[in-house]
Amino acid sequence: MQPIIAELKALLASGINLGGLDIGRVGAEDPLFTKQGLGLDSIDAMELCLLLQKRYGISLESIQQGWDSFKNLTTLAEFVESNRIR
């Protein structure tokens, strides 16, 4: 699971404005959408969806699927591993 988490960190760092946050300091269980983690917002969520579609060929079927899968890097990695096309 660590390789995909590292890959996702790099994808986030290159594709989303993290406001100077050092992605390397974010742990796999840190929340993506709170200030205690990455502090992403709804626009970042849309950008993340686009990044996942471009990189892995993944399209979300519903908003709920996204929120459940985007809790932290671990849940995101599990989602990518289960749904990636490329």
What residue segments make up the domains of the chain, in order of their start? 2-83
Quote the pLDDT of residue 20: 87
> Over its length of 86 residues, how does the chain's per-residue pLDDT go in tens digits?
789 999 999 999 999 998 888 898 899 999 999 887 888 998 998 899 999 999 999 988 777 777 889 999 999 999 999 999 97
**List of residues 6+ apart from 59 with CB closer than 8 A:** 53
What pLDDT sits at residue 77? Answer: 97
Residues 46 and 77 sit within 8 Å (Cβ to Cβ): no
The topology under which CATH files domain 2-83 is 1.10.1200
Which pLDDT score is estimated for 74? 97
Q: What's the whole-number average pLDDT of the chain?
A: 90
